[in-house]
A and B are shown apart, each in its own frame.
Chain A
Amino acid sequence: MKTGQLKLQWKKIRQDTVLQNKRSKILTKYKKRLFSLFKFLILLGISYIILGPIISIVSNSFFSPTDVYNPSVFLFPLKPTFDNFRLAMLRLNYVKTLSFTVVYISLITLIQIFITSMAGYGFARFEFPFKNILFGCVIITIVLPTHTIMLPLYQHFRSFDFLGIFESARGSKLNLLSSETPMFLMTILGSGLRSGLYIYIFNQFFRGLPKEIEEAAFIDGAGMWYTYLRIMLVNAIPSVLTVTVFSLVWQYNDMFYARLFSMASDHIITFRLSTIQATIEFVDKVKDPLISQLYVYAGVILVLLPILVIYLILQKYFMEGVERSGIVG
C-alpha cells in the first residue's frame, strides 16, 4: 500500500519535472528568439538612420529636373539620367583633382605611419629621462583642440623661415600658404592630423609585443634601426592597418587644415566639393536650388566612392586590427 503510494507520488513528481523542464526549454527558446528579434529591429533601425541619407542621396543623384517637381516620384526617378554625374564630374575636374588628392593623402599617410610608429616604438621600448612627462605631452596633443593653435600656425607658415636662411637668401620670408607644404611639414614632425592618437595606438601595440622577438634580433646582430624597420614594424601590421584606415579617411575628409592653409581647391577634391553648388549656379546658370542640389548629390557620390572602396577593402582587416592592436591599454 505504502510503496504503491510512494511510487505514485514519485511518478507525479517525475512528470512534473519533465513538464517543467519542457516548459523552461520552450521559454528559453522563445526568450532567445524574442531577444534576437529585438536585436534585429534595433540594428535595422539604426542602420536605417545611417543609411537613410545615403540612400536618398544616391536616388536623388539620378533624378532629372522634371522628377524633382513631380510629387509622385519617391526614391525611384521616372526618368533616370546620368547628366548630373556628367556635369558634376566636369565641374569637379574629377579625374585630375582626384588623382592629385589620392597621391597627396597616400604620401601623408605613409609619412604619418612611419613617424608615429617610430615615436610609438620609442615610447614603448626605450627608457630615457622624462619619458612619462613626454608621453603626457603626447596625450596633451590628442586632447588639445586644434583651433587653439590655428592662428600661430597660420602666421608661422605665412612668413615661414628656418634659422633665417630664407630671409638672407631671398630677401623675404617664404609664404607657404595655398600649398600642401605646411601639412607635409607638420606630418613629418609628428604633428599632423591626429598624429597623437596614432602614436598612442602604436605605443600600446608595441608594448603588447613580446620582448623576446627584439632580443633575438639584437643577439643576431641586428641594429636598433634594422630591428625597428624589419622586425617590429612588420609585426605591427594590425595597428599599421588601423592607422592607415584612420589616416586615409580623416585626411581625405579634413576641411580644417585645408581651409586654414587655403590649399588650392583644384588639388583637394573635398574642398572643391564644398564650392560645387556655387560653381554650377554661376557657370551653368542653374538658379533653382532644388535642381542645383542634384548636382551636389552626384558630386558627393563621386567624392565618396573612392574612399568607400578603400574602406570596404580594408574594413575586414581594419576590424581585426582594432581588435588585436592596442587601442585598449
Chain B
Amino acid sequence: MAINKKIKAAKHDKLTLRHKRAIVGLLFISPWFLGFLIYYVRSLFITISFSLSKINIAESGGYTSQFIGLNNFKYALFQDANFNQLFVNSIIDILIDVPFIIFFSLFIALLLNSKFRGRGLVRAIFFLPILLGSGAVANTLLLATQNIQGGAGAVASEMSGISGVNIDYFLSIFTDLGLPDKLLDYIVDLIGRIFDIVRASSVQIIIFIAALQSVPHSLYEVSNIEGATTYETFWKVTFPMVSPLILTNVVYTIVDSFVGSLVVDTAYEAAFVNYNYGLSSAMSILSTAVVCVILVTVGTILTRKTFYYN
C-alpha cells in the first residue's frame, strides 16, 4: 500500500527519482549552505569592504564607513611599528616548522603503528597535546613550561661553565666539517622548539596512523617475498601510499600554525583594543592572502609529486 501511495505521489509530482534525490541531497546540506552564505560569504565581503575604508564606531554600536582605498594596507605594511616584522617572522616560522612537523609526525606514526607492549598508553600520551593544544590551558601551561624550556635552552651555557663541555665547540666541529651555517642554525633552532613541535604534531600523527592502517597488507607481503629490506619497503611502498595525506597534513599544519600566530593577536588587538576595524581587517586579509599563496604553491608542488593508488 505504502509503496503504491509513493508511486502515485511520485507520478503526481512528475519528478523522476533523480530529481527527487537531488532535492533531498540539497535538503541535507541546506543548513550548512545557509550558514556558509551568512557567516562566510557575507563576512568575507564585509571584511574586504572594512579593509578599504575608515570605520567610525558610534556609541550605539553601529558604525559609519568612509572609503579610503588602500590606505589601511599601506599603514599595516609600512607604518605600523610591529606588524610587518611579526608578519615576516611568523611566515618564516611556519616555513621552518612545517617540514619538520611532517617528518616528525610520519616518523612517530610509523613507530606507533608497529605492535609493541604498552602501545595504547604511548598513544594516549602522544595525543594528550590535543587536550592541551590551545586556549586558556595552553597559556597557563606556557608559564609552567618556561622552566623546562629554559632548562633545555640554558643547558648550552650551563654546561660550558660547569663541566667544561662546550656546545659551541661541537657546533664549530660541524662547521669545520663543512656543514653550512644555515643548516646548523636550523637544527639548533629546532632543538630549542622541540616542545612546540611535539605539541603541534598530534593531529598529524593521527592522520598518518590512519593512512598507514589503510595501506593494503598484500603490498607488504609482496615486497617481503621479493626480498625487499625494510628501508626499501618504506620508500617503495609505505611512502608513496601515504603521500596523499602529506598534502592534507601540510595544509592542516600551515593553517593551524597561522591561527595561533602573533599576527592574529595583533589583528585582534587592533580591532578590540584600538577600535581600528579597518586596519584589523587589512591585517587579516593580508595574512589570509599570504596563507593562500603558500597553500597554493605548496599544493601544486606536492600534487605533482603525489602518488594516487586508485
List residues of A whose CB falls within 8 A of some B CB.
36, 39, 42-43, 46-47, 49-54, 56-57, 60, 115-116, 118-119, 121-123, 125-129, 131, 134, 137-138, 140-156, 158-159, 175, 186, 188-191, 195, 199, 221, 224, 228, 246, 249-250, 253-256, 259, 270-271, 273-274, 293, 296-297, 299-300, 303-304, 307-308, 311-312, 315-316, 319, 322-323, 325, 327-329
- When the two chains form their complex, are residues B43 and A156 in contact, meaning their CB atoms are under 8 A apart? yes
- When the two chains form their complex, are residues B134 and A186 in contact, meaning their CB atoms are under 8 A apart? no
Q: Which residues of A contact B111 (CB under 8 A)?
A: 39, 42-43
Q: Which residues of B contact A51 (CB under 8 A)?
A: 125, 128
Q: Which residues of B contact A50 (CB under 8 A)?
A: 125-126, 128-129, 198-199
- When the two chains form their complex, are residues B136 and A274 in contact, meaning their CB atoms are under 8 A apart? yes
- When the two chains form their complex, are residues B287 and A145 in contact, meaning their CB atoms are under 8 A apart? yes
B268 CB–A CB distance under 8 Å: yes
- When the two chains form their complex, are residues B143 and A296 in contact, meaning their CB atoms are under 8 A apart? yes
Number of interface residues of B (CB under 8 A): 91
A-B contact count (CB 8 A): 252
- When the two chains form their complex, are residues B28 and A118 in contact, meaning their CB atoms are under 8 A apart? yes
Decide: A255 near B136, CB < 8 A? Known: A50-B129, A128-B22.
yes
Can you name the residue of chain B whose Cβ is closest to the Cβ of A219? B3
CA distance A152 to B38 in the complex (A): 10
CA distance A152 to B148 in the complex (A): 40
Q: Which residues of A contact B120 (CB under 8 A)?
A: 315-316
CA distance A102 to B61 in the complex (A): 32
CA distance A125 to B139 in the complex (A): 42
B302 CB–A CB distance under 8 Å: no
- When the two chains form their complex, are residues B284 and A150 in contact, meaning their CB atoms are under 8 A apart? yes
- When the two chains form their complex, are residues B137 and A273 in contact, meaning their CB atoms are under 8 A apart? yes
- When the two chains form their complex, are residues A255 and B135 in contact, meaning their CB atoms are under 8 A apart? yes
- When the two chains form their complex, are residues A46 and B108 in contact, meaning their CB atoms are under 8 A apart? yes
Q: Which residues of B contact A296 (CB under 8 A)?
A: 140, 143
- When the two chains form their complex, are residues B36 and A137 in contact, meaning their CB atoms are under 8 A apart? yes
Q: Which residues of A contact B130 (CB under 8 A)?
A: 246, 249
Q: Which residues of B contact A126 (CB under 8 A)?
A: 21-22, 24-26, 28
Q: Which residues of B contact A145 (CB under 8 A)?
A: 255, 258-259, 264, 284, 287-288, 291
**Which of the residues A39, A143, A155, A304 comes within 8 Å of B295, measured between beta carbons?**
A143
Can you name the residue of chain A whose Cβ is closest to the Cβ of B37? A189
- When the two chains form their complex, are residues B32 and A119 in contact, meaning their CB atoms are under 8 A apart? yes
- When the two chains form their complex, are residues B284 and A127 in contact, meaning their CB atoms are under 8 A apart? no
Decide: A323 near B209, CB < 8 A? Known: A122-B28, A143-B251.
yes
List residues of B whose CB falls within 8 A of some A CB.
2-3, 6, 18, 21-29, 31-36, 38-40, 42-44, 46-47, 50, 61-63, 108, 111, 116, 120, 122-141, 143-145, 147-148, 194-195, 198-199, 206-207, 209-211, 213-214, 244-245, 251, 255, 258-259, 264, 267-268, 271, 277, 280-281, 284-285, 287-288, 291-292, 295
CA distance A125 to B271 in the complex (A): 43
Q: Which residues of B contact A123 (CB under 8 A)?
A: 25, 29
Q: Which residues of A contact B18 (CB under 8 A)?
A: 127
Q: Which residues of A contact B32 (CB under 8 A)?
A: 115-116, 118-119, 138, 189-191, 195, 199
CA distance A228 to B129 in the complex (A): 34
CA distance A131 to B126 in the complex (A): 37
Q: How far, in Å, is B124 (CB) from chain A's closest CB?
A: 5
- When the two chains form their complex, are residues B133 and A328 in contact, meaning their CB atoms are under 8 A apart? no
**Which of the residues B24, B131, B198, B268 comes within 8 Å of A304, measured between beta carbons?**
B131
CA distance A69 to B62 in the complex (A): 53
Q: Which residues of B contact A129 (CB under 8 A)?
A: 22
- When the two chains form their complex, are residues A49 and B39 in contact, meaning their CB atoms are under 8 A apart? no
CA distance A271 to B194 in the complex (A): 28
Can you name the residue of chain A whose Cβ is closest to the Cβ of B127? A315
Q: Which residues of B contact A137 (CB under 8 A)?
A: 36, 40
Q: Which residues of A contact B124 (CB under 8 A)?
A: 311-312, 315
Decide: A148 near B116, CB < 8 A? Known: A49-B194, A328-B210.
no
Q: Which residues of A contact B133 (CB under 8 A)?
A: 250, 253
CA distance A146 to B134 in the complex (A): 14
- When the two chains form their complex, are residues A255 and B134 in contact, meaning their CB atoms are under 8 A apart? yes
CA distance A118 to B24 in the complex (A): 11
Q: Which residues of A contact B292 (CB under 8 A)?
A: 143
Kindly list the 8 A-B residue pairs having the minimum CB-CB distance in the complex, ordered from nearest. Answer: A126-B25, A189-B35, A122-B28, A190-B32, A149-B43, A152-B43, A255-B135, A191-B35
Q: How far, in Å, is A207 (CB) from chain B's closest CB?
A: 12
- When the two chains form their complex, are residues B40 and A141 in contact, meaning their CB atoms are under 8 A apart? yes
CA distance A150 to B63 in the complex (A): 16
